[in-house]
Amino acid sequence: MLVTGLIVGYVALWDDTLPLGWDVVGLVFLTTLAFALLQSGVLHLAGIKAMALLAPLYLVAPAVTNQVPELLHPAYRAALWSWTPFRFPAEALRSLFAGTPDAPDVMLAVWVLAGVLVAGLLLLAVPRRSAGQQAEANPADGVVDVRVDEADRLPRAERERAAEHRDRRVRR
């Protein structure tokens, strides 16, 4: 809600002639919510490794979606502009600002953003395994877990001298 309010407020300050009706505010809110849930879901599952996916999505895609697709080089249009989900709300927002809320790209953007929102919710619903569960996922047969405190009770090898550490603990 806060991000949507900031975006709509910024647009109102930028150009007060732009129509900021409920359709525009709703599309901005849906876009904000969908991408926040997608980012949260990916970060939930992958942790910091998710930045390899999110960095190109958030750094490259907005710069490309602000371009008119007909003015882009065909290679950029195929490689960057065509795959970015940011282009759907950008096209829909252009249509809403132009006064054509019945344009097909508005409904397409709503469907795409709803899909992104559901995908983000599904990613958040997947339980994350802790590091301990990942390490113990496939324990080897016949391996006994020996903790450090249990190692002192193990028999020493013949003629092996115990070494004293500077804090007077015995090490073997």
Tens digit of pLDDT at every position of the chain (172 positions): 888 888 888 888 888 888 888 888 888 899 899 989 988 999 998 888 888 888 877 777 767 677 777 787 888 777 777 777 788 888 888 888 888 888 888 999 999 999 999 999 999 998 876 655 555 555 556 666 656 555 555 555 555 555 555 555 555 5
Q: Does 41 map to a domain?
A: yes
Instruction: Please check whether residue 164 lies inside any domain of the structure.
Output: no
Domain count, the chain: 1
pTM of the model: 0.64
Q: Report if residue 133 sits inside a domain.
A: no
Asked if the structure places residue 75 within a domain, the reply is: yes
Domain range enclosing 105: 2-14+22-126
DSSP string across the chain: -HHHHHHHHHHHHH-TTS---HHHHHHHHHHHHHHHHHHHHHHHHHGGGGHHHHHHHHHTHHHHHTS-GGGS-HHHIIIIITT-TTHHHHHHHHHHHTT-TTSHHHHHHHHHHHHHHHHHHHHHHSPPPPHHHHHTSSPPTT-----HHHHTTSPPPTTPPPEEPTTS-EE-
Flag whether 134 is in a domain: no
